[in-house]
Structure 1
Amino acid sequence: MTSPYRAVLGADFDELHPRLRAYFDAIPAGSTGRGRGVFDTVGTPRRWLWPVLAVFARSGVLFPVWQRRVPFTVSNVPATGADGSPAVRAERVFALRGRSRVMRDEIGVRDGALVDRLGSPVRAEAVFRTRVVDGGLRLASTRVVLCAGRLRLPLPRGIAPVVVLTERWDEAHDAQHVSIVVAHPLLGRLYQYAGTFRYDITPGE
């Protein structure tokens, strides 16, 4: 089976840096992609947002913190969407001071676009526009939906936060660099994390 990223990018997938192609390509059945690194920053210094983030923290989406130099691990396993399309389930463990936090999501394909379902249970869903830029991957959300059980609340474009994810290969550090920024059209940057990690595929769940 192909990966959701290859399915969406098509021929553009081969424009990714070779080390990124290994990360975004399909994970063999029975194997797990494992990464370990350090985030330079996690969260937001805007403490008035923390009560809202605490609600999402219960499902492992966003966390009410502002910390630097946070060790983390990531585990990716192959999955299949309800319609049979390729998907990847990810678990990121943030070794935050005070306690570790776990973020879970599943990224798949719908109508030719990447869709990320965030949280356990799912609390938000983001649809992304996907591009390869200078050998790196850039995702920018075009639609955000809040979820609570069967209730789905699409946010109007004028008030919906925009999620931008960039992944690139850092030659100087021989590591993969990831950055996620959540910003609001009126309020500015709401949340972020960014750092570097190394990653490989290992047999076994």
Structure 2
Amino acid sequence: MTSMFRAVLGADFERLHPQLQRRFSVGLASGEACTGRGVMDRIWRGGAFVKPFLSLGTTRNILVPREGRNIPFKIENVPYLDTFGRETVTFVRTFDLPGRARRFDAQMVLSPKGDRILDYLGTHQHLASELHFHAEPDGSLLIRSGEHRFREGPVDVRVPELIGATAEVRESYDDRTGRFRIQVRVVNRHFGPLFGYQGSFEASYTDIRGRRLRAGLRPVREESRA
């Protein structure tokens, strides 16, 4: 068994910086979780029209409505088996904004065909996105989102392009500082940039074999549809 990230990248996984290889080897096979702690140099959002959309997402730990600089940040990547027996890795991001911390939650699962990652967003997994992973020539990792779907009860629909968005994540490792660097942009094709952040963090690894998942990392509701 190998990590879901190695599975989707195949031989290109070896092109990643060694520290990125370790970080994206977290899974049930490795028995390791990864916790990143650092600072986001900047959290930004688009124009005023974007704020109501971001505020709505905040009720389900999706995106962040506030801007800020030099914001303490934590990301928790912990593998576990979900209700449907699928290996899942948490991507729970906490931004310690003044007055109130905000979270951006996601859980990643390997698609049934093994060719992409499914990214279930928020506390109730109402939104799901396809993610495509690419190893860049400089050893960094580029992740781009594909189709988004909204699911609630019998409803399973593609999010229209007009209100949907494309996410792009670039993650690299800086040998000089010993820190991971990350840049995230969420853009709507018609309305432009919606939300993003950039900064750096250090990573630590924990043996999770035989341990229970920490309370609060698992979503309230899990979605079975791939």
Q: What SS class does the counterpart of residue 8 from structure 1 fall into? A: helix
TM-score (norm 1): 0.90
Q: Name the Cα RMSD after superposition.
A: 2.1
**Cα deviation, residue 30, structure 1:** 5.8
Higher strand share: 1
Q: Which runs of 5+ in 1 are unaligned?
A: none
Whether 2:143 is the aligned partner of 1:128: answer no
Alpha-carbon distance between aligned partners in 2 of 1:188 and 1:15, rounded to the nearest angstrom = 32
Alpha-carbon distance between aligned partners in 1 of 2:163 and 2:134, rounded to the nearest angstrom = 24
CA contact (8 A) 1:175 1:196 kept: yes
The one-character-per-residue Cα deviations of 1:129-168 (angstroms, maximum 9, x if unpaired) are: 2210021111111211233455333124465311111111
Misfit runs of 4+, over 4 Å: 28-31, 81-85
Which residue of 165, 171, 174 corresponds with 1:170?
A: 174
Alpha-carbon distance between aligned partners in 1 of 2:18 and 2:66, rounded to the nearest angstrom = 34
Q: What SS class does the counterpart of residue 138 from structure 1 fall into? A: strand
Q: Which runs of 5+ in 2 are unaligned?
A: 212-226
Q: Greater CA deviation, 115-124 or 150-159?
A: 150-159
Whichever residue aligns with residue 127 of structure 2, its letter is A
1:75 matched residue in structure 2:
76
Whichever residue aligns with residue 198 of structure 1, its letter is E
Q: Given the superposition, is the C-alpha separation of residues 11 and 22 from structure 1 closer, same or farther in structure 2, using an over 3 Å criterion?
A: same
CA contact (8 A) 2:46 2:194 kept: no
CA contact (8 A) 2:6 2:25 kept: yes
Equivalent residue pairs, number: 205
CA contact (8 A) 1:87 1:106 kept: yes
The one-character-per-residue Cα deviations of 1:93-142 (angstroms, maximum 9, x if unpaired) are: 11011101122211121131111111011132111222100211111112
Q: Given the superposition, is the C-alpha separation of residues 3 and 192 from structure 1 closer, same or farther in structure 2, using an over 3 Å criterion?
A: same
1:23 matched residue in structure 2:
23
Matches within 5 A, 1:39-50: 39-50=40-51
TM-score (norm 2): 0.82
CA contact (8 A) 2:26 2:33 kept: no
